[in-house]
Amino acid sequence: MQKYFIMFGPPGAGKGTHAAPMVKRYHLKHISTGELLRSEIAAGTELGKQAKALIEKGELVPDEVVEGMIAGVFAANPDVKGFLLDGFPRTVQQAIDLDEMLESRDEYVTGVISLMIPDEVIKERIKGRALIEGRADDANDETIANRIRTYHAKTEPLIEVYKQKGIYHEVDAVGTIPEVEARVMALMDTF
């Protein structure tokens, strides 16, 4: 039976940074919806063009598109020990859809790791990332503010859903990368 972990956190919380050592240590397949979408954009596909227009406005790509891509990754990786979902689910409906997707495989979400970080630190990190990675979606103040508002409005309600299931865990994501990584690994060792 494979394990399914969800990593929560607003943009800039360090999901991508901490996913890499988690994947290596626990033999997981990392599924970043952001990376999946950026690869579609880079390839210039029709999906990529639609996604680019939405992302540049700080809006979310439709559920059925994202869920189809994720189901494809699950199916294409039967030999990994588990999956680390980064950027999905983002809404209560997506969480319901994910549960249904996993139930059809006789599996379930193992745990939710939520990287906790204040909004002001998010803004600083995203602007820093824009300079380092050259990501246009990270450079505009209004886009950043909209992404933070979208996270709070649409994703935070999931916290209660996963708390009720007893699989929600918070990690303080303020500090150096090694400090936060140590906290994440200590939690992952409990699963």
pLDDT digits (tens, 9 = 90+) for 118-141: 888 887 777 777 666 666 665 677
CATH superfamily ID and name for 3-188? P-loop containing nucleotide triphosphate hydrolases (3.40.50.300)
**Each residue of 39-56: pLDDT tens digit?**
878 988 877 788 888 878
User: Which candidate, 127, 86, 120, 113, places its Cα nearest to that of 180?
Assistant: 113
pTM score, two decimals? Answer: 0.81
Q: How far is the CA of 154 from the CAs of 20, 30, 83, 101, 178, in angstroms?
A: 26, 22, 23, 20, 30
